[in-house]
Structure 1
Amino acid sequence: MKYKSLIVSIAVGATLAFSAITANAAELRLGTASQGGAFYPVGQAISTLVSKHAGDGITMVPIVTEGSVQNPRLLGSGEVDAGITNNNLAVLANKNIGPYKDAGLDLRAIGTLHPSILHMMVLDNSDIKSIADLKGKRVAVGPAGGGTIPFLNAILALEGLTSDDITPSFVSYEDGFSQLSDGIVDASFALSGFPAGAVMQAKASAKLRFLNLSEAQLAALKEKTPAYGSFTVDPDVYDTDEAGLVVGVSNVLVVNASMDEDTAYRIAKAVYGNMDEFRTENALAKQIDPALSMQLAIPLHAGAERFFKE
């Protein structure tokens, strides 16, 4: 009888131990973007760091999505547990305006990431010299839910144009720049870190040129949306004859405000506590200044804030 009781006790104890391990284990889904841009490989590196260093059975997998506009929505629906988006979109999401009207989102930052610039590129011999010249042209604009779209609308508005004045091609950045090099579209846009894989592949078979913004146009964009910034892309990045003068924005790793503090802390520590490894995994991580995480346009999650204060 005592022997039987001992067997039962061991079985119950093992079950409880297994349950505790299962409760602590979590596979987190990270919303990135389409392949060919920068978010997916950056997301791969983040997922590797979290799976390796977060502990307590926490792992992370990168998920292909439509990009920075869609990722906050996926967080709201619970389809992903973390996401990469643009600083300006995170603000709109928390205000529930723009593409997030009545979405009921409440996001918190884990930390800052690399900047994304708006690649506006044409073939070097193209007769498109300005934004106004895009009227009536075929333009690859990225995925329908990607971060390029708000920038595209703002850029076109500088010349009194709308998306109705172009023929848009809603494809991945990789396909969009492939279409540009093949002459299927007249221009291709991509909001991405640089160098972007999609552009690198295209420039291997065709000489490209930036469709540059003027200083006045950049100033007008930044006045309307303070989260925007201006960036210069050196000619040797994409073998262009001239540097690119472009608009861009900082990116941010975000989660729902409801994520428990310990998990958010472990994610932040796994990523930003291992920056040398992050920079080895992904070249764009060299552009990340973790200290800027304290200056983002949305609040840090309490767990991430605890990490950065430590």
Structure 2
Amino acid sequence: MKKRKFLLFTALMLVLSMVLAACGGGDSKEEGGGEGKSEEKPKYMSILTGGTGGTYFPLGGSFAKIVSDATGVSTNAETTGASAENMQSIKDNKGEIAFTQTDIASYATEGKLMFDGNKIENIKAIGTLYPETIQIVTTEKSGIKSVEDLKGKKVSIGAPGSGTAANAEQILEVYGLSLDDIEKQDLSFDESVNGIKDGNIDAAFVTAGTPTAAVEELSATEKVVIVPVEADKAEELIEKYPYYAKEVVPSGTYKLGSEVPTVAVLAMLVVKADLSEDLVYDITKSIFENLDQVTHAKAKQIKPENALNGVGIEVHAGAQKYYDEKGIKAAE
């Protein structure tokens, strides 16, 4: 009898422990794209940016300080190969916040192009920031004046893992060219500029906010030429790839005598989906309400009221909470 009571008591305790374990499981992080599952703040966060010659890195440095001060979480900006690499790094848990292009974020979440068979499901948007201008950079002495002139030339299309390569391929496409028509080089912005300076390459695609540090550096010693993307070709590109928009490189930028027509995508910030709603709210609020602390010229184009325009992927609940409080909605 005593043995039977003991066995019954043991069985009840086992059932109770299983129930408690199941109830407690909701606080653990989920695999994949579960949002806001971790209520604990991480001790450290990385903002994945791009190369030192682009716009992401200096902005990321300013954002890291702002976020650290606001959240108490030690946050650092890291140099990377930019957009596509950053998406993969988020998937691989190598960073918590990342800069990317809107088109690349869409490819990642849909498993298209460079993410074919490698869908990224654990990213959510904080919001868009500013136009990422596609600049086809060369010098006057190269003799290159049009996209057609790139045929047969040594042309950098950006670092491996960057979003610039997709932009280059799509722009060449609307001009009836392909990557096979150029001597393709896979170089970072800094490497591209040095290659142009040294005469090792003829031109480079640079997708970044203007002015771009690496191109400004080039303009100090060379007469920079930005190859135009004419209006009819821009319209053809936008019709096929709607995430593009018409843009210009303003007169005076890189000592240009007149503005140059081109196209742009948007820069955006994304986060790991499982960061808590409260933390992402604090990150979003701190960045958009402390832009006066950002010295880079691009900060003037970053406005919270535009942050939901062109996002293209799901917005994190913490960021959405901030926009809802401010009455911010995506443009119709």
Q: TM over 0.5, yes or no? A: yes
Matched, 1:244 2:260: yes
Which structure has the bigger radius of gyration?
A: 2
Alpha carbons of 1:65 and 1:132: their partners in 2 closer, same or farther (altered >3 Å)? same
Matches within 5 A, 1:113-124: 113-124=129-140
| Alpha-carbon offset, residue 160 of structure 1 | 2.5
Matched, 1:39 2:53: no
Matched, 1:96 2:111: yes
Alpha carbons of 1:181 and 1:240: their partners in 2 closer, same or farther (altered >3 Å)? farther
Contact 1:139–1:168 (Cα < 8 Å) also in 2: yes
Matches within 5 A, 1:153-164: 153-164=169-180
Q: Distance in 2 between matches of 1:176 and 1:253?
A: 25
Q: Distance in 2 between matches of 1:231 and 1:92?
A: 22
| Alpha-carbon offset, residue 25 of structure 1 | 5.1
Contact 2:55–2:209 (Cα < 8 Å) also in 1: yes
Contact 1:148–1:189 (Cα < 8 Å) also in 2: yes
Matched, 1:228 2:263: no
The percentage of counterpart residues that share the same residue type is 30
Of 292, 305, 308, the residue aligned with 2:320 is: 305
| Alpha-carbon offset, residue 178 of structure 1 | 2.1
Question: Partner letter of residue 237 of structure 1?
Answer: T
Q: Kindly tell me the number of residue pairs found equivalent between the two proteins.
A: 284
Contact 1:261–1:303 (Cα < 8 Å) also in 2: yes
Question: Partner letter of residue 262 of structure 2?
Answer: V
| Alpha-carbon offset, residue 273 of structure 1 | 2.1
| Alpha-carbon offset, residue 115 of structure 1 | 1.5
Matching residue of 2:13: none
Contact 2:41–2:279 (Cα < 8 Å) also in 1: no
Question: Partner letter of residue 220 of structure 2?
Answer: A
C-alpha RMSD over aligned residues: 1.5
Matching residue of 2:160: 144
Matching residue of 1:176: 192
**What's the secondary structure of 1:235's corresponding residue?**
coil
Matches within 5 A, 1:1-310: 24=41, 26-54=43-71, 57-106=72-121, 107-278=123-294, 281-295=295-309, 296-310=311-325
Unmatched runs of 5 consecutive residues or more in structure 2: 1-39, 326-332
**What's the secondary structure of 2:177's corresponding residue?**
coil
Q: Distance in 2 between matches of 1:164 and 1:30?
A: 35
Q: Deviations over 1:246-276 (max 9, x none)?
A: 1111111001222221121111111112222
Q: Deviations over 1:125-169 (max 9, x none)?
A: 332222122111011222011121000100111232221221122
Question: Partner letter of residue 102 of structure 1?
Answer: G
Q: Distance in 2 between matches of 1:264 and 1:86?
A: 20
Question: Partner letter of residue 33 of structure 1?
Answer: G
**What's the secondary structure of 1:294's corresponding residue?**
coil
**What's the secondary structure of 2:308's corresponding residue?**
helix
| Alpha-carbon offset, residue 51 of structure 1 | 0.8
Q: Deviations over 1:178-200 (max 9, x none)?
A: 22133221112211111000001
Q: Deviations over 1:27-47 (max 9, x none)?
A: 111111111011111111111
Q: Deviations over 1:193-246 (max 9, x none)?
A: 110000010010000111101111100111111111111112211112332211
Q: Distance in 2 between matches of 1:206 and 1:195?
A: 16
Structure 1 length as normaliser, TM-score? 0.87
Question: Partner letter of residue 220 of structure 1?
Answer: E
Matching residue of 2:31: none
Structure 2 length as normaliser, TM-score? 0.82
**What's the secondary structure of 1:276's corresponding residue?**
helix
Choose 107-116 or 209-218, whichever is displaced more. Answer: 107-116
